[in-house]
Structures are given as structure tokens and as C-alpha cells.
Amino acid sequence: MKAAVFHGPHQPLTIENVDIDKPIGREVLVRTVASGVCHSDLHFVDGFYPFPTPAILGHEAAGIVEEVGLQVSEFKPGDHVIACLSVFCGHCDYCLTGRTHLCQTRPVRAKTDPPKLSWKGQPVNQFANLSAYAEQMLVHENALVKIDDSMPLDRAALIGCGVTTGVGAVLNTARIEAGSTVAVFGAGGVGLAAVQGARIAGARMIIAVDTVESKLAKAKELGATHGVNAKADDPVKQIRAMTNGGVDYSFECIGLKVAAEQCFDCIRPGGTATVVGMIPVGQKIELDGPAALHRAVPAGPAHARRDDHAPGQARGRQRGVPGHEGGRGLAHRPDARVASWSPPVWIDASC
Ligand SMILES: NC(=O)c1ccc[n+]([C@@H]2O[C@H](COP(=O)([O-])OP(=O)(O)OC[C@H]3O[C@@H](n4cnc5c(N)ncnc54)[C@H](O)[C@@H]3O)[C@@H](O)[C@H]2O)c1
Ligand SMILES: [Zn+2]
Ligand SMILES: [Zn+2]
């Protein structure tokens, strides 16, 4: 099959003929129909995060099942599926307590098995257990969600990462209340989904922050009530002025230290900042100590669970993660919520 091979940071991907193995056990071979370009893929190309090479990137995909391993029961050839990078084992402590996105023993092939992907006779690393920049993906069945055949696959692919991340950050991680005020930093794939999540949750004011006017216009089309151009003036100053002191909830959907700090600075006392963007490895986020007494510490990305299928369809709430609320020295402040970092969120189970 043809695939875009990643050779290392700052190098172009090249289209190569890569061999893909047959599915064994609970694996499924999927014909990739659509794959988004999430900025997380680009962070690896830019060298902000390490990954062994050669590899095939891509993790926001949808396709059609071509072949299944002998132990696969939930899928059959012809099924339309969304691929999810948070493949889970189903029996570790996290999985058994409903937090499959935190699974610590994600199913991978045994070292004694042949490699899933190989190029010129050498193994190729599978990114995010998916490697979606390829004509086919060989994945564990717990990395797939079956969808209706009528759903266009190019749009379904976006649910594999950006949509679920942004909507999930608002509905599951921050759990905003109807009537709240919200600021979303970055109006790209994830940020626009966060804007829509805030709209679904009934936020009364949704401020999109970006440096590109066309992105702000798109955010308004999708539910933002206001746009702030971070290039025009300090976005924190602008947001504070618009909200009479700051927003209840803010979301960093860019992956920048400065934006993460602004995300924290623009919330009002009792507010919660959620950092979704992938801040480069080694970079520290600086917060003002006294301000942290009155505001929540920036949180990790959204938490998904089996019953969070798609925007507007979230059923019920994520159970509180131990230490999620009230910990880290803020326990005396019932109005402050502290969340812990967690790995990226994506739909993490089959329907
Ligand atoms: N934690 C997770 O679960 C998870 C999942 C997906 C993506 N991510 C991360 O989320 C971030 C966003 O991903 P994306 O695919 O939406 O990216 P994107 O490139 O589509 O969007 C980023 C947006 O930020 C804007 N921007 C850039 N610099 C800015 C600045 N200084 N101020 C305001 N806006 C600015 C850009 O114009 C763009 O619209 C990335 O860091 C990505 O790695 C995290
Ligand atoms: Zn992604
Ligand atoms: Zn597990």
C-alpha cells in the first residue's frame, strides 16, 4: 500500500510502498477513506515531540473494514468505522473504572509477532497505534467505533480527534454550566469544536481568540459570540474588558506556552482554565502564585468514555478522577476546580 513515511523532524514525508500485515487475533484491517491533519501530527514533524522513525503519522481517520482477525466479534468487512488513538485493553485498573482513555496497557503486538508495517524489509513504527496517513490501517478492534453507513467519512474522520477533543474538553473535563462565559484560544480544528461544545452546553458568551481574522469569522459561524484578535492587542486585557473581570472557563487549543498562560490569566476568581494544546516537551507554564489561590490550575484535555459518542450525544458525565476536584492545595476552595493532566481524549471504545 502507499503511505506517507515520516523520516524525522523537519524532513518532508515521502510517499512509499509500505507492506502491511494481515490481521491476527483481535486486529482489524481498515481501508482509510479520510484522514485529517491534526496539529498534533505536525508537532512531531516540527520536532516538539519525539517519535522513533521511520514511522507513519496520522491519527484522525475514518474508513471501511476490509478484513478481521479470528477473534474479532464486533466488526465485519464493509463496516464503516472511525479510528481512535486511545485503544484500550479493557481489563486494567483504569479500564475497569471507566477511564479507558487512561489505559496503561494498551494492546500492541507481541515482540515475537511480525511487524504490522514494514518498508524495504524493515519495521515501520505505528503512530498512535493507527498510522492513518496510509491507504490501510491495521488496528486493534478497541481502536474502532462503528458508525452509520450514511455518515460521510470525511466528516466522520474529524470525530476521531479534533471534534471529540474540543467538545470533550468543554463537556467532560471542564463540565461548564449553562449560562457560563467562555474563552477559547485557537480557532483551529480543536478550538472550533470547543466553541461548538460551549454552544451545546449553553454558554451565554463564547469568545474565540485567534490571530487570523478568517478563523475568527468561522468561529462566529459555529457559535462564538465574540472574536478577539490576539495580534491586535493583549487578549487577556481584551477578554477582561469584555467580561468585566474575566471568563468562567477558558480553553487553550493552540499548544503555546504564552497562550496557556493567557488562558489562565483571563479567568475570573473561581474560574477554570483547561489546557488542551500540546505545549512543547521541556517548556514550563508559568502561573502567578497568588492568582492561583482564586483560580483553578490549568487542566488536561478532555476525558472520554464509552457513552460520549459525538457532539450533542454525550450521555452522562465523566466520573470524577481521584484528585480531580479540590486537590493540590485548593481543597479549601469549593469554587475552585483542579484537574490533572491526562493523555489525549478521543472516543475510546466501540459502539
Ligand atoms: N490534548 C489533546 O487531546 C489534543 C488533541 C488534539 C489536538 N491537540 C493539540 O491541540 C492544539 C490545537 O490543535 P489543532 O489541530 O486545532 O491546531 P490548528 O493548527 O488547527 O489550530 C490552531 C489555531 O491557533 C491559532 N493561533 C496560533 N498562534 C496563536 C496565538 N498566539 N494566539 C491565538 N491563536 C493562535 C491558529 O491561527 C490556528 O487557528 C495542538 O497543540 C494539538 O497538538 C491536543
Ligand atoms: Zn489529534
Ligand atoms: Zn486498560
307-349 pLDDT per residue, tens? 333 332 222 222 222 222 222 222 222 232 333 333 333 222 2
Q: Is the same domain home to 193 and 303?
A: yes
Mean pLDDT computed over 15-33: 98
Round to the nearest angstrom and report the end-to-end CA distance of the chain: 28
Q: Which pLDDT score, from 0 to 100, does residue 132 have?
A: 98
Q: Which residue has the higher pLDDT, 345 or 117?
A: 117
Q: Predicted confidence band at 266 (pLDDT cuts at 50, 70, 90)?
A: very high
Q: How far apart are CA 221 and CA 216, in angstroms?
A: 9
**Which residues touch 260 (CB under 8 Å, ≥6 apart)?**
252, 273, 275, 277, 279, 285, 298
Q: Would you say the CB of residue 344 lies under 6 angstroms from ligand 1?
A: yes
Q: Which pLDDT score, from 0 to 100, does residue 239 have?
A: 98
Tell me the residue type at 2.
Answer: K
Q: Which pLDDT score, from 0 to 100, does residue 329 have?
A: 27
Q: Which residues surround ligand 2, an ion (CB under 5 A)?
A: 38, 40, 161
Q: Predicted confidence band at 187 (pLDDT cuts at 50, 70, 90)?
A: very high
Q: Is the same domain home to 31 and 135?
A: yes
Mean pLDDT computed over 149-164: 97
Q: What's the pTM value of the predicted model, to 2 decimals?
A: 0.86
Q: Is the same domain home to 171 and 131?
A: no
The domain tally of the chain equals 2
153 located within any domain? no
Which CATH number goes with the domain that contains 277?
A: 3.40.50.720
Choose one of 35, 37, 38 to mutate for the ligand 1 pocket test, by most ligand atoms within 8 angstroms of C-beta. 38
Q: Predicted confidence band at 293 (pLDDT cuts at 50, 70, 90)?
A: confident
Q: Is the same domain home to 102 and 238?
A: no
Residues assigned a catalytic role:
38, 40, 43, 59, 161
Q: Is the pLDDT of residue 351 over 80?
A: no
Residue 278: give the domain boundaries.
166-319
Q: Using DSSP bridges, classify how beta strands 247-252 and 61-68 pair: parallel, antiparallel or unpaired.
A: unpaired
Distance from CA of residue 72 to its chain's centroid?
A: 26
Which CATH number goes with the domain that contains 18?
A: 3.90.180.10
Ligand nearest the Cα atom of residue 105: 3
Q: Is the same domain home to 25 and 136?
A: yes
327 located within any domain? no
CA-nearest residue, atom 38 of ligand 1: 188
Mean pLDDT computed over 273-280: 95
Three-state secondary structure call for residue 118: strand
Atom of ligand 1 nearest to the CA of 190: 16
Three-state secondary structure call for residue 215: helix
Choose one of 35, 37, 40 to mutate for the ligand 1 pocket test, by most ligand atoms within 8 angstroms of C-beta. 40
Q: Is the same domain home to 266 and 336?
A: no
Q: Would you say the CB of residue 211 lies under 6 angstroms from ligand 1?
A: yes
The CA dihedral of 189, 194, 195, 199, to the nearest 10 degrees, is 140
Q: Is the same domain home to 94 and 171?
A: no
Distances (CA, A) of 140 to 13, 136, 201, 269, 317: 25, 13, 33, 44, 26
Distances (CA, A) of 188 to 107, 218, 226, 284: 31, 9, 16, 23
